[in-house]
Each structure stands twice: as C-alpha cells, then as structure tokens.
Amino acid sequence: MCGIVGYTGPQSAFTPIVEGLRRLEYRGYDSAGIALGTSNSLFVEKRAGKLANLEAALPANLPTVHSGIGHTRWATHGGPTDRNAHPHLDNEGKLAVIHNGIIENYAELKAVLQKRGHTFTSETDTESVAHLLSDLRKEHQGDLSAAMRAAVAQLRGSFTLLAIHADNPSTIVGVRRNSPLVAGIGKGENFLASDVAAFIEYTKRAVELGQDEVITITPETIEITDVHGAKVPVREYEITWDKEAAQKGGFAHFMLKEIFDQPKAIADTLIGRLSDNNQIQLDELHMTDAEIKRIKRISVIACGTAYHAGMVAKYAIEKWAKIPVDVEIASEYRYRDPIVDQDSLVVAISQSGETMDLLMAVRHAKAAGARVLAVCNTNSSTIPRESDAVLYTHAGPEIAVASTKAFVTQIVAVYLIGLKLAQVRGELSDAEVKNLYHEALKLPGQVEQILETVEPLRALTRTFKSNNTVLFLGRGIQYPIALEGALKLKELAYIHAEGFAGGELKHGPIALIEEGTAVIAILPPHDEHALDEKMLSNIQEVKARGARVIVIAAEGVEVIGAEHVIRIPIAAPLFQPVLATVPLQVFAYEIAVARGTDVDQPRNLAKSVTVE
C-alpha cells in the first residue's frame, strides 16, 4: 500500500521521482523518502508525514544526479517515524531499498543477519532486505540483479522491491510478488513504479511484470529475468489515458472531480456493448455459449466498496439470468472451504487489481477448478492477469482513496455481465436485452442531471456536520447502496455510520434512534412487493422517535415524514442504485469538508490494499 518510483536517465532524477511520488501519495502517506545515486555514494533523505515534509527537509543545493528511487509509505511494521521511513540502507550506506508489502520471514532473516554483524536501525521488515541484498551482492561479485534473484528465493510474503547501489547508480533493480510494479519506457530514460500514474507525464509505453520476475533498468535498457536468471520477453502495452486525467481539473479535491467524472465513466463502460443485431458483446469473457449455459452457480468476491457492487450484481444476475449468486467478502472466502467446481463462475471485483485479499481468493477459486472473471479498472494489474478473463471498466484513474466513479462503473459492468448471461441462456429475449441496454444508456445523462442540481444538497449537508451518528436505510437492491453510503461517510468524515435493511430496523437498530439522529432513507421504486410503502412506514417509525430524515426518492413520488427530499430521475428499478449512489457520495464529501478532514487521503486508509 505504498507508492514506489524509480528513475534513471538524463533528467535530474529529483523531478520525476518527486512528481511521481506526488501522484502516488494516495497509496501511502505516513512518510516519504528518496535515495539519489550520487558518485560513489547515495544522497538519502526521509521524513515522517506527508510528502511536503520531505520536500521541506531537502537542502536548497540538492545535488544534480540522474538516477534514484523514492517512496511514500503506509505503515505496517513500525510506526510512521523518520527512522522507519524508506529507503532503508545497508550498514555501508551504499545500497538502498524501498518496499511495498510485507516480508513475512523478516524476523528470521534479521536474527541471521545480526549474527553476521549487521546493525539494524529501524523497526521495519524492509531493512532486513537491505542487509540481505548487501551480503548477496558481494557473493555475486557486485551484480545487484543476481543478488535480487538470490534474495527473492529467500523471502516469504508479498512485496515489490526496488534497489540501487552507489557503485553503479544508473542501474535500478526491481522485483514483484503479489504486489504491483510496472516499468515505463522513455527516450533515453526508463522508469519503475507501483502505478503508471507516476510516469505518465513522460511516456505512455509501459511494461508488465510477472510473479517473481526481476527487472533491471538503465537509461537505455530494460532486462527482465526469472528467478533462475533466464531472460523473459519484455511485454509492452500502451497507457490509454493522459496526465490531465489524474489532475484535479479545477475542483477542490480529486474526489469531487471524480464524482463529476461519473457520467463519462459510465458512458465509456457501456459504449459499444450492443451489436447491430441486439447481442451484448463481451468478448472479454472468453466463454462459449455452451460454457455459459453450463454455469450452475456464481460467486462474487470483493472487498469494501467493490463488495457492495457485488451485492448489486446478485440482484441483477439472479433477476435476469436466473442463476443463483453468492456474494462474499474476499478476505473470508478461502477460509470456509467454499464449494466451487468447473461449473462455477467466480466474479472478482477490484478497482486496483492488486487487492491482496481478493488475489488470494482468486487463486483459491482457480485451484478448486472454477473459472474466474475479473472486473477491474486497472489495465495489466495482477488480478486480471491471473484470472481466466477480465472485463475492464473505464473509470480512468481514480486518485481519491474513497472510491466513487470506480464503484458506479463496477455496477454497470456487472449489469452487462447479467445481460450477457441472460441473453445466452434464453432468459431474456433480444428485444428485452435491447430495451434494458438502452435504459442503461440513459444513466450518464441522469447522473449529469443529479449533479447539475446538487448545490442545495451540498448546503443542506453542512447542517449535519455536528452529528456523530448517521443511519442509512435501504430495501431490496437499494440495501447495498445504504451500506455504501455509510461506508463513504465513515471513510471521509470519521463519523459512526451504519447501513441497514429497512425491514431489520425494528429488530434492533431502532434502539439507536433519538432526538436529532440523522437517518437517510432510499425510497425504492414501486413494484409488486410494495417495498416503497414499507420504506415509507420505516420513515414514519424513525420520525416518530425524533430522527431528522432525508429521503432519496424518484421525481414525482410522494414522500411523507421527511425533513428533506432529494430527487433523482426515474429509472428502471435495477438501474436506480447508480442514481441513488450519487447524492450519498456528495453527502459524505460535504460533511468531510465541513468537518475539516482530509477528503482525498483519509487517515489510516490507502487506495490499494496490497497486504492481507
């Protein structure tokens, strides 16, 4: 969950490294540090806190060098202090290492290395790698790449590592295991980073790395080997978005920009998915019609916000395709011996494609014989590469830690999966699929309509900034959205918030209601189950006990008992969750701003959770 950057080339290395770290600061911001490869020595500086603390500590006459590595940290082993910040050095001060992930056997390594005379100065697992590499490099006659290959064979855990040595500072060596690392190919310069956002200003040519592959870059060359030293072909791909997509675009925060990006993101995810003969086109599934018809069960696995998208998937897929769907938290999945086989489809949802809990669950499902379909927003990340197929969403880079546009595009992606399965299995006619797809195509315009009328909601929200508890109520397919609304408020404003199914209110949660309690209720559209009428009863129940009630309801629907009503456009019932999500995002954002919290980088959170 850390940001990693390496650069070697003709530029002053400080600029691309620090700019890259700034773009990756959302991945970790407990501390930051750099190691620059000066002649026969390393210039190292590191500071606890945000990147600005590091920049303030740098001398005005910083040496001009042409290679180096940089790191922003999200603390695991050892607190966020100067001495625990990366890079970590060997005892000679000539070899520097930065690290994302966890070295599980670091204590064993540390004990061995201390017996050899190495002195440790931090509480981190990473420092053991610096000392280990130092010894191995000497054993391999100064070959840092060979030392890295030997080190990987001794390390347990998940990690990305970059190393640089003062004796040959233009060479940077990296490796990844269950943690992201990507290379960028420039003109006479090369890059390494945990995310392409770090170097997109300089190049759109990127190289993916496989498990335990060691990469060595110089200004002119890129070489990839396996742990045995055999060369691996360089697998290049093109980055399809530009640096402007990762900037705020005039908004106060990345999150607000990303909320307003949602109409385009939804449209980009939907575009071109219906053929001229009304067939849903999802060639990425890599499944024949016969294989789709054999599916007997679907398991959706995900974490956090993506888990809520998976809950929406259950409603849509079961309604349209008539296939039973289980939705499970990925971190729990493989510990209960789930029943999956070759007739099972496992849908793994992740924004980053690097979520460690989910990656382990994917591997478990594949080992059990299931086919795995990833839904992901990040090209060539680990989970898509290890899945049998991938459906990419097109949200573009999402910088704010709390997910917004990635979430709604995940929902749209699972709608497409549901429609495809239903059409192939004959549960929906081509005409029905066409109608539903065209209903989905209305979503970008409907979200735009909500955003155009959002100012009164922003003003209203600020009146709730002193509330220390907010409850969210949903029924049917809106229940996952109530959970998502509560999660957003927890993440951004650090307020106790809970989402409940409306029918559960009287089974305990109503005891929480007292004078002034804020309750946000999502009114479902009227259907044969009359869930809207039941939710209106829930509203009366909390109102009678003194709650301040905000209701999200479709245009024209009568609402009784609410202090405030937030209107959203009328949509088909299964598509309404996308629309109901947007006001909840704005609500969480505005309360966070009013309370003065860090909207884009909430405390204790990181964008990509790459440890279990």
Closest CA to 315 of 533, 474, 167: 474
Asked whether the predicted pLDDT for residue 449 surpasses 70, the reply is yes
For CATH 3.60.20.10, list the domain ranges present in the chain: 3-245
509: pLDDT strictly greater than 90: no
State the catalytic residues. 2, 607
The CATH number assigned to the domain with range 453-612 reads 3.40.50.10490
**pLDDT over 70 for what percent of the chain?**
98
Sheet arrangement for strand 88-89 = 88-89, 95-103, 157-165, 172-177, 214-217, 222-225
pLDDT the model gives residue 157: 85
What's the confidence (pLDDT) of residue 528? 61
What's the mean pLDDT in 428-432? 97
* Assigned CATH topology for domain 248-441: Rossmann fold (3.40.50)
Question: Looking at the chain, which residues constitute the CATH 3.40.50.10490 domain(s)?
Answer: 248-441, 453-612
Say yes or no to pLDDT of 149 above 90: yes
Q: Which residue has the tokens 């993506």?
A: 306
Tell me: pLDDT of 608 over 70.
no
* pLDDT number for residue 243: 72
- The Cα–Cα gap between 404 and 406 comes to 5
To the nearest whole number, what is the mean pLDDT of the chain? 92
- Tell me whether residue 276 is exposed, middle or buried, using C-beta atoms within 10 angstroms of its C-beta: 0 to 12, 13 to 18, 19 or more: exposed
pLDDT surpasses 70 at 487: yes
Whole-angstrom distance, CA of residue 612 vs CA of residue 607:
14
162-186 pLDDT per residue, tens: 999 999 999 999 999 878 899 999 9
Question: Rounded to an integer, what distance in angstroms lies between the CA atom of residue 170 and that of residue 320?
Answer: 57
**Residue 514: pLDDT over 80:** yes
Q: Can you tell me the distance from the alpha carbon of 404 to that of 261, in angstroms, rounded to the nearest whole number?
A: 9
Q: What average pLDDT does range 204-211 have in this prediction?
A: 92
Class of the 3-245 domain? alpha beta
Beta strand 297-302 with 344-350: parallel, antiparallel or unpaired?
parallel
Q: What percent of the chain has pLDDT over 90?
A: 72
Phi, psi of 253 (to 5 degrees): -140, 155
Q: Does the structure show a pLDDT above 80 at 529?
A: no
Lowest mean pLDDT among 66-80, 138-152, 157-171, 314-328: 66-80
pLDDT band at 611 (very low <50, low <70, confident <90, very high): low
Angle at 427 between CA 424 and CA 433, to 5 degrees: 75
pLDDT at 557: 87
Residue found by looking up tokens 């735009």 in the block: 448
Q: How many angstroms separate the CA atoms of 313 and 327, rounded?
A: 9
Residue 458 clears pLDDT 90, i.e. is over it:
no
Can you tell me the mean pLDDT for 309-314? 98
Confidence grade of residue 158 (pLDDT, cut at 50, 70, 90) = confident
Task: With beta carbons less than 8 A apart as the criterion, state whether 434 and 278 touch.
Answer: yes
CB-side neighbour CA atoms (13 Å) of 267: 11
54's CB contacts (< 8 A; 6+ apart) are: 32, 33, 34, 45, 46, 47
